Structure 1
C-alpha cells in the first residue's frame, strides 16, 4: 500500500509531528465490557499485532483480558472481532525456574495492571518478570527483565493459539509445524512455521512462518508433545536443532543474562521472508525506545494528522484519536504476503466484516486514506478474480462469516459514485458484483445455518431470483431481503455509471424487493406496517418487538423488526409513504427512541438517528445522535456500547463528532452537529475540509445556521462534490434551542419512484416482481 507501506524505519526518523497526537490515543479504549479491542502494539493496518494472550475460561478475542493468567505474548491478533478468536500465534512466554512441562506449566499471574500507549506495551508478571513490547509492520520486539535469581527461560510454543470455549466448532486448531534453532554470529536464532485452521471464519489450513533472534547467549532444547492440538503430556526433550511434527512442538531458551531482547519477524510466504522482514524493519541493536518513537511517528503522520483541531478539551481529543487508532488496526495490509496467487494487485485480509463496516467505516476510510482505500477496493476485486467471489468477511486468506448480503457490492458502489477510478478495473469490479447478484454460491453447510452458504455471495439468492422475496427456507430471511435490496441498488449505481442501461433498470427494480416483505397489517406500539417473514403465499405472524434469537437461523440477524424496518436507506421516500407519510414517520422515529429500541451496539441501528433529516427535523437527528454518543462512548476501557466490530463503533462516533453521516452507495452526507470549534480534515493531494462552529457548548449544540463554502446553506445534507471531492468549508452557528434552518430540498431518495406522501395502497398496488 502506497500510504501505509512497510518501509525502512530509518526513513521515518525526524518526521514526527510537532504535536504528539499519539498521546491522546488510548489503546485500552474499548478493551473491556465486550469491546474486544486490541491494546497491544501495531502499525496502522500492520500485519504484526504484538500483545498478550490471557486465559480466563472465556474467549479472548483480541488476546487481551483485564483478568486471568498470561499464556503467551504472540505476534498476530485482530481487534474488535467476535464469533471466535483468531490467531494468537508465533508466541513467546517468559518463565522462571525449572520447567517440567512447557505445554502445561507456563502461565503467569499479573502483578500489576498492564500499561499501554501507542507504540509500547508493558506487562508485569507474578513471577517477577517484566515484559515490554514494540513492533513494526511485519516484525516485533520483546524486551524481558528477569529477576536476579533462578533459571530464566523463554518458551517458544509453535502450537500456541487463542482458544475458543463457546462450543460452536469455531475453535482454532494447530495442525503441525517445525522449528530450527542455532547460533547466528553472537545471536541465538530460531525459525520455522506453524499450520492452523478455523476461527471465526471457518478457514481451512494456513501457514505462518517466523524468524526470531535473541540478543543474549542461550542454551536451548526442543520439545515434542504427545498429540497435536490438545496433547499436553510431554513426550521428550531433544537437543535436535531441527524438529518437524504434527505433534505440539517448540523450544525452551535459557539465559544467564537478566535483560534479554528478542526480535521476531513473520511472513505468510517463507521463513526466508520472515527473516528479511525482521532484519529490514528491526535491525540488530534497535532499541525499544527507538521503535516506540518511530511507531508513534507513523501513527501521527499517517493517521492522526488526518484530523486536527485547535480545541483543547482532553476528553474529546482522547475519544477522537482513540477512535481513529482502533479504526485503523484492521483490515491487515498483506500486500506481498499472499501465498495463494501471484498478482500485481494489493492484498488486504482480516476483513471483519463488511456487514459491520460498509455503513460508516469504509466511507470514512475513503476520506482519510484515499490511496489505501483505492487499494482496498482493488484487493476486493482481485479476490473475486482468484477465489470466485468478493468477500463479505475474510481472514487467513479465506472468505467466511457472511452474515447478510454481499456487502462488498455496497463498498464498490460507494467508491464508484464518489469518483474512485485510479487503477481500479471497473469492468472487473462490476463483473464481481454481477457474480454476487446472479450466481448462488455452493452451500458450505455451516452448522449455524445450513440453509445456504455463509462463506460468500448471497446464500438465499434462489428465492430472491424466483420470488422477489426470501422465504423461511433460508435463515435470516427478512434481514437478508433488506440487505439484498441495498446490494442490488449498489449494482444499479455502478451499471448506470458504466452506461449499462438495461442492467441498471433491472437492478433498480430488484432494489425494491424489500417492499415484498412489508405487511401493512403488522402492528406495534400504535403503528402499522413492518417488515415480516413470509411464505410464497402469505405473511407470517411476527411481533415487531421480538426477533427470536436474532441469530443465524432466525428471521432477523442482530436486530429487531423495528430496526430493520428503517433500513431501506436507498428508498426512504417509499418507506416514508408506507409508514403513513412524513408526520407519522417522525412519530415512529420518536417512539423508536422513547421506547429504547435503538441498539447502539449493532449496526442496523447506526443510521436511524439521522433519518429525521429526511423529514425536516434535523434538530432531532442532532438530539438523538448526540444523546447516544454521550451515553455510550467514552475514552475508557469500557467506553464502547458493545463489540468494536473491527472499528465500526469507532467510525460511527467519529462521524457524529465530525457532524456528518454518510449514506453508503450515494453521494449524500446527512448533517449533524460538530463537537469541535475548529477542525481540519486532510483529504490528501493538498485538499482540505475545514469545519468550524461558533456558540457551541455541552448544552448549546443545535444548528442555528450553516454556510457551506461561504454560501448560506438551507439543506440538511451535503454531497460529496460539495465538501470532499475538492475540499471545502462548513461554518456552523450553534445554540441551545432548535431552529428550523434546514428549509430547503430534502435529502435524495434515489431509488424511489413514489412520493413520500403516496398512500400505502398505491405503493403496495405495484409491488415489484422478478
Structure 2
C-alpha cells in the first residue's frame, strides 16, 4: 500500500559535477518497512518512513497502530496497514525494544463531535486508502476521511500540508500528550509526564512543551519545546486538558474496555499541573480546504523552536522544503559514493546502494546546540541505537565518508563521559541505556584511534572513558529485563571478568556473549592504551584473551569439537548446554542474539587463535562451510527470520563478519562467494528487502561494504578485499580526497557469476594480500588513490602474501573444566 517516487534523471558518473546528480531518485524509503508477512510491519526492519534530513533531529511521519502486535513494528511510526493515530516530529529508525518518541503530534480531523473524544485516539484514528507515496525528504498519504497529508522536514522543523474534501469540516488536533506506546507491556513503555500549551494572540501560532519518560532506555523525562504555526488563521481555537489515565487508556489490548474521560476546554492556555493532566488544542477553519503547518522543536526553549521554524522553513511550500531536503541528502550523503547512473546502469543495484546509504544516515541524531543537560563547547548527539549494532561496520564507513559528522559524534561521546561519568553503549532521550553486552563504545573509539583520527577529540579523556568501562563496576539499575546486571551503562559483570577472566553463567546472564564481547572491549582498550598509556597496554591485551577461558575443548556439536560455552564460577563448564540453540537469545539467556556455535567465530582481534582451537585450517574451513548450509539452524527464527535456516544469521550483528573469515585462510574467493550469496538471497529493492530489523542502518551498511568490495575489521586498521558490484566507484574520503575502486572485467551475470577476484593492484602496485591497512600504499584511505580488481569466472586463490593479522594474539591454556 505504498509507492516510491522516482524521477528519470540518468547521467553517467563524471558527466556532470557530483552534486548535480540526483542520486536521491534511486532511494526506496520503504525498504525494510514490511516483514515476511506481506502487508504487515511485523518481523520487518522497523524503519522510519517520512520526511528527514541526514542525522536530523526531526523525523516527521505517521504514528500508527497495527496488528499483529509487536512493539518493534511501531518504532518507526509507519506501518503498512496500521491505524493512523497522529503525525509527529520525532522518531527512531530500525530499532527494537520499546518504542521511543512519537511527539509532538498533530492529527487532521473532519469532525470533532459525536463519538470523537480528543483524549482517546481510538475514537478518531484513521485507516489509509490508496498507496502511500514517499521519496527522499517527502511523504504523502490519504486518510479514510478523505484528507490528504503531505510531509517534509528540515533539521529542527517539519512542514505539514493538509488537503480536506470540499464537503468536510476542517480541524487539526494538536496533542501534546501523544507518544508511541508499548502495546504489550508497561515496564519499558513511554509515559507522559506533563506539558503546557498556549495559543498566541494571532490564533495561528501555538507554543509550549511536552515531557515524556520511559521507552527503550527506560529514560528520565525528556522535555521538548514546540512552536507551531498555521498559514491560514483558524476561525475557532480551543485549548483543552484532561485526566491522564495512563496506563489504562493508553494500552490498546489489556484495557480496551476502560473508560476514557472527555477533555475540558480552558481558553487559550492549559498546563498539566501536579497530576500530569493531558493538554492540547483543536484548531478549526470554515470554508478552507488546504492548511499548511510549520512546527519547530527544541530541547532548549520555545524561542529556539520558533527560530528554527522561521529560519529553516522560510516558505510554506512543501515542494521547496522537499527539494532542500533532497539537495542536502545528495550533497552530504549520496554524492560521497558515486557510480554510473546512466540508462544502462543496473537500477536495482543503484536502489540498493543509495537506499542503504539513506537508512544508515537517519540516526543517531545530531543535536549540536540542543543539549539541555549541561553547558559545553563540545558537540552533542543522541539516539545511538546502539554501539552493539553500529561498531561492527557502520562507524568505519562514517569514518571514511563523513569525517566531520563522525568526529563530532566521537567528541560528543567523550563529552557525555566527561559530564555523566560513563560513555554510552545506547542512548536516547538524553539518557544512557541499554547495554546489550559489552561496553562497545570502547570498540568505536578504538576503531577511530587506530586509524589515526585525532582532530579535536580529547583522547586523554577518551582513554579515561574506556578504562573506566574496563575497571569500574556500574551501579545496579534493577532493570526488570535482566535481574542479574545493570543495563544502563558500563560492564555489569566486571566482578566476574576481572577476578575470573570470564563471565560466569551462575552469577550473570548472557555469560557466553558477554565473555566474547568483554574480550574485544579490552582489546579495544589496549589499542588506545598503546598510544595514550603504553604501560597499560599489555594488561588489557592479556585480558582480551578471556574468551579462551570459556572455550571448552571437549564440547561437541554437529561433529565439531571445541566451542565457547557457559562456564560456572567454580571453573566447570556447562556440559548440558545446547550449542546450537540459545533459547530466546535474549537478555536473560546464556548468549544474546546468537548461539555459542556462532559466537565461537566472533573473535576479530585473534582469528589465528580461533583457527588453532578449532583444530587448524582444515577443520576451521569445514566448520565455516557448515554454518552456511541450509537447514542447520537450531533456532526457530519464526517470522523474524525471513527464510534464514543456516546457523550463520546474516540478520544479526555478531555474524556480520563471519562470512569474511575465509580471507584468514587465503581463500578469499570463498568469502566473496558466501557474501555475494547472502546479499543476493536476503537484500532486495522491496518493502521486505532486508533480513530483519535494520538496527539503525547496520544491516544496510553491511550491504554497502559488500557492494564496495571491502570489509573493515573493527578495532584494527585492516580492510579485507572482496569483490565490487560496480565497475567504477568513486568515494570521497577524508573530506576532499577520492578513493577510486575499479572492477575490470566485471560481468557477473547480475551477481550470479563472474565476480571472483583474479588479482588486485593498489595505487599501481600488484597486491598479493587479500587485505590492506588504512595507511598502506601512501595512505590509500586518507590521501585517496585507486584499487583495481580484476574479476572473472575462476574460483582462484590469487593471494600469496601474508594472512590478515591477528593483532590481539594471546595463547592461554585451554583445558577441561
Query: Is the TM value for this pair above 0.5?
Result: yes
Task: Note if 1:205 corresponds to 2:233.
Answer: no
The answer for the alignment partner of 1:585 in structure 2 is 620
Q: 1:148 aligns with which of 166, 172, 181?
A: 166
Task: State the match for 2:721 in structure 1.
Answer: 671
- Secondary structure of the residue aligned to 2:229 is strand
**Segment of structure 1 superposing worse, 160-169 or 317-326:** 160-169
Residue 151 (structure 1) shift = 1.9
Q: Choose from 169, 194, 210 the match for 2:210.
A: 194
Q: CA deviation at 1:229?
A: 3.5
Q: TM-score, normalized by length of structure 2?
A: 0.89
Residue 492 of structure 1: CA displacement? 0.7
Contact 1:86/1:172, CA 8 A, preserved across alignment: yes
CA contact (8 A) 1:229 1:248 kept: no
C-alpha distance in structure 1 between counterparts of 2:683 and 2:499, whole Å: 44
Partner of residue 261, structure 1: 292
Confirm or deny: 8 A CA contact 1:443 1:450 kept in the other structure: no
Deviations 1:216-257 (A, max 9, x none): 121110112222545531141232334444111100000121
Partner Cα separation in structure 2 for residue 61 and residue 437 of structure 1? 32
Among 461, 464, 467, the alignment partner of 2:500 is 467
Aligned residues of 2:755 and 2:791 also touching (Cα < 8 A): yes
2:639 alignment counterpart: none
| 1:391 alignment partner, SS class | coil
Q: CA deviation at 1:765?
A: 6.8
Instruction: For residue 29 of structure 1, report the CA deviation from its aligned partner.
Output: 1.1
Superimposed CA distance per residue, residues 475-498 of structure 1 (whole angstroms, 9 cap, x where no aligned partner): 111100000000000011111122
Relative to structure 1, the CA distance from residue 168 to residue 728 in structure 2 (aligned partners, 3 Å threshold; closer, same or farther) is farther
- For residue 483 of structure 1, the aligned residue among 517, 520, 530 is 517
User: 1:90-123: per-residue Cα shift (whole Å, max 9, x none)?
Assistant: 1010000233421223211101121000011101
Q: Determine which of 327, 339, 342 is the counterpart of 1:309.
A: 339
> For the residues of structure 2 that align with 1:601 and 1:485, how far apart are their CA atoms?
23
- 2:357 is the counterpart of 1:355: no
**SS of residue matched to 1:481:** helix
Between 290-299 and 168-177, report the one with greater CA deviation: 168-177
| Counterpart in the other structure of 2:571 | 537
Cα distance between partner residues in 1 of 2:237 and 2:440? 50
What's the offset of the Cα at 1:16?
9.1
The 2-side partners of 1:225 and 1:419 are apart by 56
- Write the distance in 1 (CA, Å) between the matches of 2:198 and 2:655: 51
1:419 aligns with 2:419: no
Aligned equivalents of 1:351 and 1:198: distance in 2?
Answer: 16
Counterpart Cα distance in 2 of 1:753 and 1:709: 34
CA distance in structure 2 between the partners assigned to 1:461 and 1:82 by the alignment = 26
1:635 and 1:405 map into 2 onto residues whose CA distance is 34
Give yes or no for the alignment of 1:744 onto 2:744: no
Task: Deviation per CA, 1:564-586: give whole Å up to 9, x if none.
Answer: 00011101111111011111111
Question: 2:241–2:272: 8 Å Cα contact kept in structure 1?
Answer: no
Offset of residue 763 of structure 1:
4.7
Say which SS state the counterpart of residue 358 (structure 2) adopts. Answer: helix
Answer whether contact 2:709 2:722 (CA < 8 A) is retained.
yes
- Alignment match, 2:244: 227
**Structure 1: distance between partners of 2:184 and 2:584:** 16
TM-superposed CA distance for 1:168, in Å, is 5.6
Equivalent-residue separation in structure 2 for 1:588 and 1:717 (angstroms)? 23
Q: Structure 1 pair 766/689, CA: closer, same or farther in 2 (3 Å)?
A: farther
Contact 1:224 1:234 in 2 (8 A): no
* Separation in 2, partners of 1:18, 1:80: 30
SS in 1 for 2:220: coil
Alignment correspondent of 2:14 = none
RMSD: 1.6
Written as runs of structure 1 = structure 2, the 5 A alignment for 1:367-382 is: 367-382=400-415
Partner of 2:267: 239
Partner SS state of residue 666, structure 1: coil
**Per-residue deviation, residues 495-552 of structure 1 (Å, max 9, x unmatched):** 1122x23310100100011100000010111110000001122011222111122111
After the TM superposition, which of the residue ranges 733-742 and 71-80 deviates more from structure 2? 733-742
**What's the CA shift for 1:323?**
0.3
Structure 1 portions without partners, runs of 5+: 1-14, 755-761
Post-superposition Cα deviations, 1:285-311, rounded to whole Å, max 9, x if no partner, equal 331111111111000000000000125
The answer (yes or no) to whether the contact 2:394–2:701 under 8 Å persists in 1 is yes
The Cα of 1:452 is off from its aligned counterpart by: 1.3
Contact 1:559/1:602, CA 8 A, preserved across alignment? yes
Instruction: Decide which moves more: 106-115 or 556-565.
Output: 106-115
- What corresponds to 2:783 in structure 1? 726
Tell me the CA shift for residue 718 of structure 1. Answer: 1.2
Tell me the equivalent position of 1:494: 528
Q: TM-score, normalised by structure 1?
A: 0.95
Pick from 1, 15, 23 the counterpart of residue 21 of structure 1. 23
Among 459, 467, 471, which residue is 1:434 paired with? 467
Greater shift, 463-472 or 103-112, is seen at: 103-112
- Report the secondary structure of 2:105's partner residue: strand
Aligned to 1:117: 135
Distance between the aligned counterparts of 1:764 and 1:108, measured in 2?
61
Alignment partner, residue 588 of structure 2: 553
Q: State the distance in 2 between where 1:545 and 1:17 align.
A: 49
Task: State the match for 1:620 in structure 2.
Answer: 670
Offset, 1:201? 0.8
Q: Distance in 1 between matches of 2:52 and 2:266?
A: 35
Confirm or deny: 8 A CA contact 1:182 1:241 kept in the other structure. no
- Other structure's SS at 1:316 match: helix
Check whether the contact 1:181–1:242 (CA below 8 A) recurs between aligned residues. Answer: no
Partners of 1:365 and 1:127 lie apart in 2 by 43
- Asked if the contact 1:73/1:91 (under 8 Å) is kept, the reply is yes
Q: CA separation in 2, counterparts of 1:593 and 1:763?
A: 30
Write the deviation string for residues 171-224 of structure 1: whole angstroms up to 9, x where unpaired. Answer: 11011101001333xx60001001110111110111011000001121110112
Paired with 2:263 and 2:304, the residues of 1 have a C-alpha distance of 32
Q: In structure 2, the residue corresponding to 1:706 is in which secondary structure?
A: strand
Aligned counterparts of 2:813 and 2:666: Cα–Cα separation in 1: 23
Over 3 Å counting, the alpha-carbon distance change for 1:766 and 1:435 in structure 2 is farther
Corresponding residue for residue 440 of structure 2: 407
3-state SS of the aligned residue for 2:104?
Answer: strand
CA distance in 2: counterparts of 1:68 and 1:212, whole angstroms: 26
Tell me which moved more, 678-687 or 654-663.
Answer: 678-687
- Tell me the distance in 1 between the aligned counterparts of 2:661 and 2:186: 37
1:394-443 Cα shifts (integer Å, max 9, x gaps): 00100011000000000110010001101011100000011100000001
Shift of 1:315: 0.3
1:23 is displaced (CA, Å) by 0.4
For 1:668 and 1:763, locate their aligned partners in 2 and report how far apart those are by CA, in whole Å: 28
Distance 2:175 2:246 in 1: 12
Once the 2 structures are TM-superposed, how far is the Cα of residue 262 of structure 1 from its aligned partner?
0.3
Aligned to 1:564: 599
Equivalent residues of 2:545, 2:810 under 8 A apart: no
